Amino acid sequence: MTNVSGFLVAIAVAAALALFYLSQSSHVAATGYEIDNLQTKLAQARAQQQQLIWEIGRARSPSQIEARARQELRLVPLAPGAVRFAPRSIDSTD
C-alpha cells in the first residue's frame, strides 16, 4: 500500500510540475508575441514620424509656400516699387 501511495504522490508531483512548466512556457510565448507586436508598432510609428518630418520639410520649402500662395490663396507678388521704407532716424543716445 505504501508503494502505491508513494507512486501516486510522485505522479501527482510530476503532473503539477508539468502543468507549471506548461503555464510558464505559455506565459513566455505570450510575452514574446506581445514584444514582437510592440516592436512592430514602434517601427510603424517611427516610419510615420519620418514621413511627417519629410512632409513638414516639404511644406516649409519656399517653392511650396509660393505655389500654395499663388494657387490656393490667389496672392501675387508686389510690384518692385510698391513698398517704401521710412528713413532711419538718428538716435542722439548712441
Summarize pLDDT for 33-79 with one digit per residue, the tens. 999 999 999 999 999 999 999 999 999 999 999 999 999 999 998 88
Q: Kindly indicate the confidence band of residue 94, based on its pLDDT and cuts at 50, 70 and 90.
A: low
Residues whose CB is less than 8 angstroms from the CB of residue 64 and which lie 6 or more positions away in sequence, other chains included: 58
Q: Is the pLDDT of residue 93 over 70?
A: no
Q: Where are the domains of the chain?
A: 2-71
Query: What is d(CA 46, CA 54) in angstroms, rounded to the nearest whole number?
Result: 12
Is the model's pTM score more than 0.75?
A: no
18-22, 43-47, 57-61, 85-89: segment of lowest average pLDDT: 85-89
